[in-house]
């Protein structure tokens, strides 16, 4: 915050004297540029700026709000551009699990880790979203970032999806609903309970195809600027972090309205 305030103060240096000068515009325009000032002139300007900011401290916070709004707008625009460029990899990679309505008009893409507490918190919200809106298409991207057990669970999940996609929805739900620290051994126990053949599952999890799928998700997350889980893509916007059901629904409706 202090660095931001300092930067804004410097940026405002040329404008503040003008604001204080009032009608003396001609005189203000004749002042030397900041780079041409003598040490004495520069010190007087600093004194004027300091006095003005002390009398009007709200100016700094107004400037910070404007700066943050501009940064947010820039990021949203960049996100939309990247989503458009990476649309096939995001929405139709042919590897990730597709839930909800496969023909839904709005797609929600989730990047998640089975060991992520906020992913687990978001899971029932996502289920409620899909159940309450029959036109939502859900795409789940395995994005294991919380250590070797996360990677093992993600590889197992991708293998399970390849071997028996019809069981995957229940498996995903069981993994996300598991309470406690999920380990590789526990993940395979959950898969066995879901009806998967464990030797076949372990063989598929070690395959090059699964390695390529995990690597592709890492690369895609990097391109999208994702550094944590959960993360969601809804329409042309990226939501970084957990959001409650109401915000998900609002984002879906906003996307749907923009399509019409």
Q: What are the DSSP calls for 189-227, one per residue?
A: HHHHHTT--HHHHHHHHTSHHHHHHHHHHHHHHHHHT--
| The pLDDT of residue 90 | 97
CA distance readout (Å), 105 to 45, 74, 101, 133, 252: 58, 27, 9, 11, 10
Q: Token match 């990730």: residue? A: 96
Q: How many CB atoms lie within 10 A of CB 202?
A: 17
| The pLDDT of residue 82 | 96
Q: Phi/psi at 194 (nearest 5 deg)?
A: -80, -5
| The pLDDT of residue 67 | 77
Q: Phi/psi at 38 (nearest 5 deg)?
A: -80, 170
Q: Is 176 exposed, middle or buried (0-12, 13-18, 19+ CB in 10 A)?
A: buried
| The pLDDT of residue 7 | 47
pLDDT digits (tens, 9 = 90+) for 194-238: 999 999 999 999 999 999 999 999 999 999 999 999 999 999 999
| The pLDDT of residue 40 | 84
Contact of 175 with 190, CB cutoff 8 Å = yes
Burial state string for 48-73 with b = 16 or more CB within 10 A and e = fewer than 16: ebeebbeeeeebeeebeeeeeeeeee
| The pLDDT of residue 66 | 82
Measure the CA–CA gap between 149 and 182, rounded to whole angstroms: 7
| The pLDDT of residue 162 | 95
| The pLDDT of residue 69 | 79
| The pLDDT of residue 246 | 96
| The pLDDT of residue 147 | 97
Q: How many CB atoms lie within 10 A of CB 113?
A: 25
| The pLDDT of residue 30 | 52
| The pLDDT of residue 33 | 63
Q: Is 158 exposed, middle or buried (0-12, 13-18, 19+ CB in 10 A)?
A: buried
| The pLDDT of residue 11 | 46
**Which residues of the chain carry a pLDDT beneath 70?**
1-34
């Amino acid at each position: 915050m202090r660095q931001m305030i300092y930067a804004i103060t410097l940026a405002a240096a040329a404008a503040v004297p003008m604001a204080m000068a009032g009608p003396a515009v001609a005189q203000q325009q004749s002042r030397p540029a900041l780079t041409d000032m003598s040490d004495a002139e520069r010190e007087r300007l600093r004194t004027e700026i300091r006095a003005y900011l002390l009398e009007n401290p709200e100016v700094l916070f107004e400037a910070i709000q404007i700066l943050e709004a501009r940064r947010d707008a820039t990021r949203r625009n960049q996100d939309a551009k990247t989503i458009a460029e990476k649309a096939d990899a995001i929405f139709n990679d042919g590897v990730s699990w597709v839930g909800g309505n496969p023909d839904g008009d709005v797609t929600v893409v989730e990047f998640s880790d089975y060991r992520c507490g906020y992913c687990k918190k978001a899971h029932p919200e996502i289920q409620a979203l899909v159940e309450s809106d029959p036109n939502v298409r859900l795409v789940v991207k395995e994005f294991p970032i919380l250590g070797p057990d996360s990677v093992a669970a993600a590889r197992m999940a991708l293998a399970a999806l390849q071997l028996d996609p019809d069981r995957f929805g229940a498996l995903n739900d069981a993994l996300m609903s598991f309470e406690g620290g999920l380990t590789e051994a526990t993940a395979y126990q959950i898969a066995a309970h879901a009806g998967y053949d464990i030797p076949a599952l372990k063989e598929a999890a070690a395959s090059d195809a699964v390695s390529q799928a995990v690597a592709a998700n890492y690369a895609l997350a990097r391109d999208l600027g994702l550094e944590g889980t959960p993360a969601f893509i809804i329409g042309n916007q990226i939501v970084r972090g957990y959001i409650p059901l109401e915000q998900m629904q609002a984002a879906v409706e906003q996307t749907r309205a923009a399509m019409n």
